[in-house]
Structure 1
Amino acid sequence: MQVTETLSDGLKREFQVVLPASELEKRLGDELATLKDRVRINGFRPGKVPVAHLRRLYGRSVMAEVVQNAVAEAERKIVDENALKLANQPRYDFPEDKDEMEKALDAKSDLAFKVALEVLPSFEIVDVSDVAVTKPVAKVSDEEVTEALERMAAQQKPFAAKAEGEAAAAGDRVVVDFVGSIDGEEFEGGKGEGVTVELGSNTFIPGFEDQLVGAKAGEERTIVVTFPEAYPAQHLAGKEASFATKVNEVQTPGEVTYDDEFAKTFGMDSLDALKDALREALQKDYDGRSRAKVKKDLLDRLDEKYSFELPPTLVEQEFQSVWQQVVADMQRSGRTFEDEKTTEDEAKAEYRKIAERRVRLGLVLAQIGETAEIKVSDDEVTQGLIARARQYPGQERQVWEFYQKNPQALAEIRAPLFEEKVVDHILGQVKVNEETVSKEALFADEDETEGEGGESAAKAEA
């Protein structure tokens, strides 16, 4: 096998691979000789089938396997001899001339093909001892725990029917039947019977609950509302609808007492235990938010320190992933680029920069992790997989089996674990300034921290 580099341009490489006809013939003969001892053909004793007969029967399929093995061997040879780290799977170009390819598959002429690939960039890890990042932190207050208790109580409060003739007020519940129509025609999904509506909960179409205030049991009303422009059902979005509504019952809420008995309805031994659990859960959310913000700050600092050529294919793959999500979100919300005060071309340019940032940071995190010999253990992956399976109650076994049978999917569990370990490693090298802030400040600009990590890069390690 002869391998010759024909192109070295930035991160692009191309190689010409040639397998002489004599080598093809030898490889084919070796495979057929091995096959002779395994096949059973009527009229021949085991191991006594003539190679020429085997070639007539299986020659083309065996040669296809020979070529496949040669391709894999060529890739290993290129990578090993040139000490390359591939950014993606190589592209193989075989002769387009059918006659030429047929001769090669019959070992009557040389087989020549091209291997095109992109390599990962080489760069030095920079010193970050001069980097300082800010970690905003907030502590859960007693008032926030009380607010959480009140929200839980609101979900648990008992309701009882109001006296006959009493009107519904904000905070009450009404049980209704309704039939919706647009321009006099009923529409799919617009009919309900025995539906409970809590007035003031803002869970129905805007205006629906307000028009039930003052209603009494047995009363019939026509409720007219307009579906929001961003309503998920596109055929209803922005349209005015009428609902012929009958009030079956008006219910008023009872009082909930915060005591040990209330706590027991949530599986806690006492009210103090419930409060402690709420505080811990809220603090976990706050700490997670703190982590996300200090991580974004760190990644911003790293992005300022690194500049190197990026593999075009990796950037394009990341951009397509980001752009598909953007388009899907816009379709779901019913918004347009004009609504966002931009154009599609401007938006694409902005999101391509985001894709480039993700790839750059990913490669940086991957190289830092490799240099620091950071590993993710099988036990850690298993714990991550268990956590993922728990997100699908009732389907845990199916989720577990899917990941176990798909190494690429399992790598999606390992990659973020690796990334978080690398981030911890870097945070240990920089100055972290903790800043106490309010809950509102901690959760401000929440969307900005989403998708800012180098997830695409941790895949290089995985």
Structure 2
Amino acid sequence: MKHRHWSLIIVSVISSCMLKLSVEVSPRICLQCYNSSLDEYSKHLKVHGFRPGQRLPENLIANYVGRENMQKAAIEAILKKTLPEAMSSVEGRAVRDSLRITSKLEDMSDSFSHSSVFRYDVVVDIAPTVTWLLDTKYKDLKIVVEIDDIIDAEKASEREFMRRHKALGALRIVTDRGLQLGDLVVLDIYGESIADGESKSEKIPNSERKGFHLDTEESSSLLPGFLEAIIGIRQGETRSFPFEFPQSWEQESLRGVSVNYTVECKELFYRELPPLDDSIAGQLVPGCTTLDQVKELILQRCREVERTAIDQATDNAILDRLGKIVEVDIPQSLFEEQGRELYGAKLLQLQAENRLNENQLQSLAREESVREYLQKERENISAIVRQMLAIGEIFKSENLQLSTEELVKEVEKSVAEFKNHNQDYDEDRVKEQVQDVLEGAKVLEWLRENARIEYVKK
């Protein structure tokens, strides 16, 4: 509880990350604010018989704007005058831009009198306390990083080399045989589920494919056994065969489902490839004269991609681990801020990819659409905020530092980006966001050096 010369402020705890401020404003301040609002009306109202700016009688102002609007203007003046003073009682603890007035305007208007005490309530988020769930906190962390086989540089370079070789080949129509491994085939595919071995069946959603192009050398995403079932099929031939989706299938609704597939071969091609020798090196990679040069250059590029992918996978694994070893009450303002930033970035990406027209963009930008996104993605957004709070805690605990030069450089780069796209920006907010990103990078670097990181194949 704090007394001011004009008010009484009662601070009460709602949760570990939210405070309630109950503010009482003295009649003297209420009268001052009421009179100042009348002065403002007098400046702008043009009334016959009164000079511009001359103080107008209260009743006359009421006739022009109404008593209700006069009260609202006075309340607005009171809030404008007293809120900064009220917020000073929680200075250093309040989360930026988290203040919310909880008293309804209608209730404040009904109870307002410039000769009585005026009361209102606000809530404010405060920096939450991060509780580590491990005795060692974030020290000596064990991080397991799963690496996808597809980013293995050696294997990726072999695939890329073969892809480039195949791209030089010409497609020829197969006329005298059935499908072989290495061919390309165009299929019409129909799938129907079979209920408990009965003859009754129903179509599987999204299973019908017409004109489906299949490269038999790139069939890893197919249903296991599908390719084997169509080997030997000829152009114009139709085959039907039963299948059961494995329990590990990505689409959960199809796991264990028995299916009868009908496949018609529409077109069948084989590749006529040029000899794999030094004569095609320049076609595979411009500037190369031998296949060894081609393979080495492709391998170098794949290693760069591999390093980037491993670094990203490591950062993701560290962030995921951090989010799971902290317990923290997330302030609503931080949740909304992070969620709205993610949603805005998503819209910008869709817009940049020309996947949204103007009407769709306007619809998705509505508050209702934003709210739906926040609700749907609550778990993911909360996980990201937990990670951010954990990073902030480590940055402080380890006394990590950012150089002023580095911060200024990145802020200037971000501001230039906004200017290039003719977008409005708040420089203080940009600086805050850049600082968060740089602090996060410092913490991830520290954890990579101090954690026990194990890499395993998926």
List aligned pairs for 1:2-401, cutoff 5 A.
Answer: 2-7=7-12, 13-40=19-46, 46-48=52-54, 50-52=56-58, 53-58=60-65, 59-61=67-69, 63-68=71-76, 70-71=78-79, 73-87=81-95, 89-94=98-103, 98=107, 101-104=109-112, 106-120=113-127, 143-144=154-155, 146-150=157-161, 152-153=163-164, 156=167, 158=169, 160-161=171-172, 163-182=174-193, 183=200, 189-199=206-216, 201-227=219-245, 238-255=256-273, 257=276, 268-270=286-288, 272=293, 275-276=296-297, 278-287=299-308, 289-290=310-311, 293=314, 310-311=328-329, 313=331, 317=335, 358=387, 360-365=389-394, 367=396, 372=401, 377=407, 380=410
The sequence identity of aligned pairs, in percent, is 13
State the alpha-carbon separation in 2 of the partners of residues 40 and 259 from structure 1: 90
Distance 1:29 1:187 in 2: 73
- For 1:312 and 1:143, how far apart are their aligned partners in 2? 44
Q: How does the TM-score come out when normalised to structure 1?
A: 0.61
- Tell me how far apart the structure 2 counterparts of residues 261 and 118 of structure 1 sit (CA, whole Å): 66
> Does the 8 Å CA contact 2:185/2:265 hold for their aligned counterparts?
yes
Worse-superposed segment, 224-233 or 241-250: 224-233
Distance 1:10 1:112, change over 3 A: same
Alpha-carbon distance between aligned partners in 1 of 2:128 and 2:259, rounded to the nearest angstrom: 59
Contact 1:133–1:298 at 8 Å: present in 2 too?
no
Range that drifts further, 28-37 or 80-89:
80-89
Aligned partners of 1:175 and 1:250 also within 8 Å: yes
SS at 1:209 equivalent = helix
Look up the SS of the partner of 1:107 in the other structure: coil
CA distance in 2, matches of 1:184, 1:136: 45
SS in structure 1 opposite 2:61? helix
Secondary structure of residue in 2 paired with 1:176? strand
Could you tell me whether the CA contact under 8 Å between 2:239 and 2:263 is conserved in 1?
A: yes
Shift in alpha-carbon separation, 1:233–1:112, aligned structure 2, 3 A = same
- Structure 1 unaligned segments of length 5 or more: list them: 322-349, 390-396, 436-440, 446-462
Q: C-alpha offsets along residues 316-360 of structure 1, whole Å, 9 cap, x if unaligned? A: 959x98xxxxxxxxxxxxxxxxxxxxxxxxxxxx99997896365
1:2/1:261 CA distance change after superposition, 3 Å: farther
Q: Secondary structure at 1:86's aligned position in 2?
A: coil
In the other structure, the counterpart of 2:360 is none
Native 8 Å contact 2:37 2:70 kept in 1: yes
**Which ranges of structure 2 fall in alignment gaps of 5 or more residues?**
1-5, 131-135, 194-199, 340-378
Q: 1:409 to 1:223 in 2, by over 3 A?
A: farther
| Alignment partner of 1:418 is 2:438 | yes
CA drift of 1:251 comes to 1.7
Deviations along 1:220-275, whole A, 9 cap, x unmatched? 22243345667677776654443433223322234364768566567x44374784
What is the CA–CA distance in structure 2 between the aligned matches of 1:209 and 1:410, rounded to whole Å? 53
- Residues 172, 272 of structure 2: 8 Å contact kept: no
C-alpha contact 1:231 1:237 (8 A) present in aligned 2: yes
Aligned pairs, how many? 386
Alignment CA distance shift 1:280-1:220 (3 Å) = closer
SS of structure 1 residue aligned to 2:185: strand
Query: How far apart are residue 103 of structure 1 and its match?
Result: 3.5
Secondary structure of the residue aligned to 2:214 is strand
Other-structure match for 2:351: none
Q: Distance in 1 between matches of 2:28 and 2:54?
A: 25
The alpha carbon displacement at 1:134 in A equals 9.5
> Does the CA-based 8 Å contact 2:25-2:117 persist in structure 1?
yes
Letter in 2 for 1:380: E
